[in-house]
Structure 1
Amino acid sequence: MPPNKQVSMLWLLRYLVPVKGRIAVLLLILLTTTACQLVNPQIIQRFIDTAASQGEVASLLGLAGLFLVIAAFNQLFTVCLSYLGNDVAWRATNRLRADLLRHCLRLDMRFHNLKTPGVMIERIDGDVTGMSNFFAMFIVQIVGSFVLLAGILGFMFVHHWPIAVVMAAFTVLSVGVMAAIRNLGVASSQAEREASASLFGLIEERLAGIEDVQAGGSVPYVMNRFHRAMRAVFLKGRRAWMLRVVPWNATVVLFTAAVTIVLWMGVRFYAAGELSLGTLYLIFQYTQMLNDPIEQLGNQMQEFQKAKSGLRRSRELLSAQSEIADGTETKLPDGALGVQFEHVTFSYNKGTPVLHDVSFALKPGERLGIVGRTGSGKSSVSRLLLRLYNIDSGTIRVGGVDIRTLRLEALYRRVGMVTQEVQLFDGTLRDNLTLFDSGVTDEAIMETTGRLGLRKWIEGLPEGLDTHLQAGGTSLSAGEAQLFALTRVFLTQPSLVILDEPSSRLDAATEAALQEAVNQLLRQCTGIVIAHRLSTLEKVDNMLVLGEGRVLEFGSREDLARDPSSHYAALLKADRQEELA
């Protein structure tokens, strides 16, 4: 979807199509309510004229009763309008929220690295809420206001056309002024939303790092950042509000002038005997009623500016394109998959490569250990295998197929990865192990967890697999969370498994048990193990040693261990010395 600054509200109207039936009911109630509003002043007119001419009491009581019945129905219809208006708006904009979230989930990691969760919440929910507030009253107040205006002016032309001409001129001028300056506050409202998103991003970021903030004594610094962000929200919000109320202020001035002229004309015609007292009241009442739809249009003009700024930001978000283009190939060879890196160069930021001309090959069923200092590019290798990022140059093949030609779904179905950070979701233990895949049986879960040493722990829980876990993994120890992540991957029965620091969060005893389980699980697939602890790599076939993004050496683990001049042998020696110390 190409970016378009001149956004048309018609783009959002397509979300109203699925609720067109409710909109039809809403319009019917709206017309009924408008009719009630127009009829009641005429009942009062007849009541006044009847009373002034010494009419029958029965007629007056009848008119009073009719007025009360219509007023009661009008209030009932008003409540229905408000309910249906909000229902239609939220049903429509919730589809937009879903589209925004779905689109963001498909964007590449470069995009998500630049956007904090707080910012994304504001973009997906906050901006759409502004649109929802507008559409909640769009039909009720915008359409209703024009219908009411047309009715008032129509009746006035029937009763007294000179005054009706003045009222019509006021109406046309007010609507014209609001239309001419309808976009006055859109840019400022957009800046206000951006400032609000930055504030939420700051709060989310600091809360996520609360331990470091408190331990480092950084609370004053964080509060200073917070106050500056809040000041930006206040200043931009004030400017946006001042610009948004300009249309409303303009209509107030015009209405004051119109009322003065209409009342002067009405009193003059009444004094001349051309109008009855009831008709004079009717003119006054319709003049006051005329202000209501004009004022509603002014208020909705403010909501329109906020909605349009949110719409621009939503269109901007939907126009963001992932740099990861999906391929067309869907088939990979059966069984374990081989891996080839051919002269791969990659950088997170242009001009600063983290991998330089990396080449190596791993046969199906082999196990590769990757070691190197922090920042050497070990984790980047795993991210590239899953196409979380695009490479700058070179080729990566899985099962002999260039991963750029593969559909991402086909790649993810056959390749699994356990990262250093384990994400647990708010849900049952079963949901967290299967990632909400109902096709995985409880028998498969218990068999896999049995290999990893978790089965007894699960069976000891009062609710077993139905035990509820909290988001973030606070209900599990670090080791349990790591074992859960391993279970999650192996339940998908992958043909290539990447383990990024699988034992980094485990004690020595748990690591030994885990290593045996991993050895069993890797028998049916190719494995890549990234580790700092060399003991984790005792069962791998080949070693890849990285340094500053370059291949320092690649070869058989046993051969490299026997070669005293190899980098791997030096690492083994340093590791033994550390254990002895």
Structure 2
Amino acid sequence: MNWLIRYLKPVKGRMLTLLVLLLVTTGLQLVNPQIVQHFIDTASSHGTIISLLWLAGLYLAIAVVNQLATVAVSYLGNDVAWRATNTLREDLVRHTLRLDMDFHNRKSPGEMIERIDGDVTNMSNFFAMFIAEVIGSFVLLTGILIVMFFHNWLIASVMTVFTLASIGVMTWIRDLGVSASQAERQASAQLFGLIEERIAGIEDVQANGNVPYVIRRFHRAMRRVFETGRRAWMLRVIPWNATVALYTLAMTVVLLLGVHLYLTGHATLGTLYLFYQYTQMLNDPIEQLGNQMQEFQKAKSGMRRSIELLSLKSNIVDGDEDGTALPAGPLDVEFRHVDFSYNGDERVLHDIHFRLAPGERLGIVGRTGSGKSSISRLLLRLYNVDSGSIRIGGVDIRTLRLEALYQRVGMVTQDVQLFDGSLRDNLTLFNRQVSDSDILATTDRLGLRTFIDAMPEGLDTHLSAGGASLSAGEAQLFALTRVFLTRPSLVILDEPSSRLDPATEATLQLAVDELLQNCTGMVIAHRLLTLEKVDKIMVLGQGRIVEFGDRAALAAAETSHFAGLLRTSRQEELA
């Protein structure tokens, strides 16, 4: 409840309005049976037509007002629910984005969509009706019982016992289906994860004839959703079934007592109707409570999963120093005896120790899996080192604020992510402080201006997520422009030209040279042509530094590993 109140507190004004409307609708619901009672008794005693018409008109007016109030209650209930749960969605998204890469490597996007939206939607459904039906039901129950005690204490006592028994049963077994509902949500999350994974890899699935295999996995996941959903539903409906049985018993007793009072002359026909109507009305809030108990169990399972997600802590702890701790201009880079592993078992980097002076360019080469990309990920603190330290500008990166680190360090990878938005937004990553003139000047220097001029609306041209309309070269120039606009002091290029043809690679190389003029650079590459203008070379092998030194010296030394790579590269080009 404390967690629930936390998200409902910002909408307390709307909740107060909602409670007032609930009291109005409850009062109107209690009044109308009284009007019908008077109508029946007046008709039985041969009352005037005027009296009957007046009662009928009053009944109709109250029914209309009650219906309008009910619509308002439903609207406000949903408004309160979505405002509260949208805040929760925002908290979940913000928290998830701050979790480390170890977490994101374990979770598929499909599963995270289900955790952030699917679970919260269940909570929203409950929040929407919590006040309108749960609190409203309790108010109506109380009103019915109070009115009934003024008419007949015996029947009122029977109705009270039924109400307390129903609420007691629902309270006693309220958590019966929560664990099963959690399992249902988890099965649904796994299904969404499977769908997302297969859609993302649709080319490989179709090209390798794996559609039947995917369908089999889909069937297994769907069966799991069905089986967990069926069990959760069967457990959730138990409170409702229990109240139906209790209501049947209570209705039988009330009708028998009412008929007895009518036959003995202690109740009029209108009063007998009143007993029946209030007993019928008593079932409605009890049934609503039973239905909401099912929603409560689904909502509580969502709450547990959301609390579980919010309780996760990132392994990357933000530092306490701001960007002023770093010196101006190009930054030096120093790795001090760094060891690193992704899962804690198999070490990826072993005793990496080197220093790069401010303004120098380092080329990193090595076989696939040698640890090249791991070095770039550690520099950006996407992961923590197991031992040793990394210093930029003479400062241990663990003491820096992540925001300050990202302001001074830029990275370009071979996979460029484009977002649904304008061309301007994609180049600036939605930073409104970057002017159009700065964007155009930068793209002109990097060779992207002709592409922008060819777009129908220039910088206002809308791009779809994924960037299917861009070539690989254009996408890489996009990435370089993004980094260039931030004016970084250290740039990491992680195989940016691996998918480009030689002509496009030459154009990209000019842009890279322009980018690295006023900053320190680290270039990870398979093609040695990319490393012709670097100052130093690092050769990695099985996570260790095999060779590190000046490029010219290593290229001239026939026995060096780098010289051997150059000879192999030339032979491949001649072939």
- What interval of TM-score do these two structures reach, taking the shorter chain for normalisation? over 0.9
Contact 1:346 1:354 in 2 (8 A): yes
**Residue 534 of structure 1: CA displacement?**
0.1
Query: What residue in structure 1 maps to residue 97 of structure 2?
Result: 105
Q: Compute the displacement of 1:443 (Å).
A: 1.3
The CA distance in 2 between the partners of 1:13 and 1:280, in whole Å, is: 43
1:317-364, Cα deviation, whole Å (9 max, x unpaired): 000100000111112011100000111010011110110111110000
Partner of 1:185: 177
1:4 aligned residue:
none
Alignment match of 1:167 (pick from 135, 144, 159): 159
Distance 1:510 1:477 in 2: 10
Alignment partner of 1:472 is 2:466: yes
SS of equivalent to 2:526: coil
SS of 2:342's partner is strand
Residue of structure 1 in register with 2:366 after alignment: 372
Question: How much does 1:90 deviate?
Answer: 0.4
Corresponding residue for 1:402? 396
Q: Deviations over 1:226-269 (max 9, x none)?
A: 00000000000000000000000000000000000110011011
In structure 1, how many angstroms separate the alpha carbons of the residues matched to 2:469 and 2:463?
6
* Deviation per residue, 1:497-547 (Å, 9 max, x gap): 000012112221121122122112211100000000000000000000000
1:462 to 451, 456, 461: 456
Aligned to 2:110: 118
Q: Which residue in the other structure is 2:212 paired with? A: 220
1:247 aligns with 2:239: yes
**How far does residue 460 in structure 1 lie from its aligned partner after superposition?**
1.9
1:51 & 1:457 partners in 2: Cα distance?
A: 86
Aligned equivalent of 2:498: 504
Question: Partners of 1:460 and 1:49 in 2: how far apart?
Answer: 84
What is the CA distance between 1:481 and its match in structure 2?
Answer: 0.5
CA RMSD, 1 decimal: 0.7
The residue number in structure 2 matching 1:322 is 314
CA displacement at 1:478 relative to structure 2: 1.1
Q: How many residues are aligned here?
A: 573
Within 5 Å, which residues of 2 pair with 1:311-460?
A: 311-330=303-322, 331-460=325-454
Q: Contact 1:452 / 1:517 at 8 angstroms: preserved in 2?
A: yes
Query: Which residue of the partner structure matches residue 226 of structure 2?
Result: 234
1:391 CA displacement: 0.5
Q: Deviations over 1:34-72 (max 9, x none)?
A: 111000000000011111111111111100000000011
Code of the residue aligned with 1:100 in structure 2: it is L
Cα offset, 1:479, TM superposition: 1.1
Q: Distance in 1 between matches of 2:219 and 2:508?
A: 48
Shift of residue 30, structure 1, vs aligned partner: 0.8
In 1: Cα distance, 2:28 partner to 2:212 partner: 60
Distance 1:252 1:10 in 2: 31
Q: Distance in 1 between matches of 2:530 and 2:365?
A: 11
Q: Distance in 1 between matches of 2:451 and 2:333?
A: 36
CA distance in structure 1 between the partners assigned to 2:494 and 2:378 by the alignment: 13
Tell me if structure 2 keeps the 8 A contact 1:482–1:505. no
Partner of 2:524: 530
Instruction: Read off the aligned partner of 1:351 and give its amino acid letter.
Output: D
Where in structure 1 do 4 or more consecutive aligned residues deviate above 4 Å? none
Q: Secondary structure at the match of 1:336?
A: coil
TM-aligned CA deviation for residue 10 of structure 1: 2.4
Instruction: Tell me the amino acid that sits aligned with residue 496 of structure 2.
Output: P
Distance 2:4 2:364 in 1: 50
Structure 2: gaps (5+ residues): none
**Which residue is 1:269 aligned to?**
261
Work out whether 1:554 is the aligned partner of 2:548.
yes
Residue 442 of structure 1 deviates from its aligned partner by 1.0
Contact 2:380–2:409 under 8 Å retained in 1: yes
Identity of aligned residues (%): 73
**Paired residues for 1:30-179 under 5 Å:** 30-179=22-171
Aligned 1:556-571 pairs, distance under 5 A: 556-571=550-565
State the SS of the aligned residue for 1:506.
Answer: coil
Match of 2:510 in 1: 516
Give distance in 2, aligned partners of 1:327 and 1:10. 31
Residue 259 of structure 2 aligns to which amino acid in structure 1? Answer: V
Match of 1:580 in 2: 574
Give the AA of the match of 2:334.
Q
- Residue deviations 1:166-203 (CA, integer Å, cap 9, x gap): 00000000000000000000000000000000000000
TM-score (ref. length: structure 2):
0.99
1:456 CA displacement: 1.5
CA distance in 2, matches of 1:313, 1:17: 21
Structure 1 letter corresponding to 2:201: G
1:444, CA displacement in angstroms?
1.2
Secondary structure of 1:349's counterpart equals coil
Q: TM-score, normalised on structure 1?
A: 0.98
Confirm or deny: 8 A CA contact 1:546 1:553 kept in the other structure: yes
Distance, in Å, in 2 between the alignment partners of 1:416 and 1:127 is 36
Distance 2:406 2:479 in 1: 16
Secondary structure of the 1:503 match is coil
SS at 2:407 equivalent: helix
Q: Does the 8 Å contact 2:473/2:508 carry over to 1?
A: no
CA contact (8 A) 1:198 1:229 kept: yes
Output the CA distance in 1 between the equivalents of 2:486 and 2:492: 13
Q: Which residue of 2 aligns with 1:5?
A: none
Residues 319 and 399 in structure 2, CA contact (< 8 A), matched pair in contact too: yes
Question: Matches of 1:351 and 1:129 in 2, distance apart?
Answer: 39
Provide the C-alpha distance between the structure 2 equivalents of 1:347 and 1:128, rounded to a whole number of angstroms.
35
SS at match of 1:396: strand
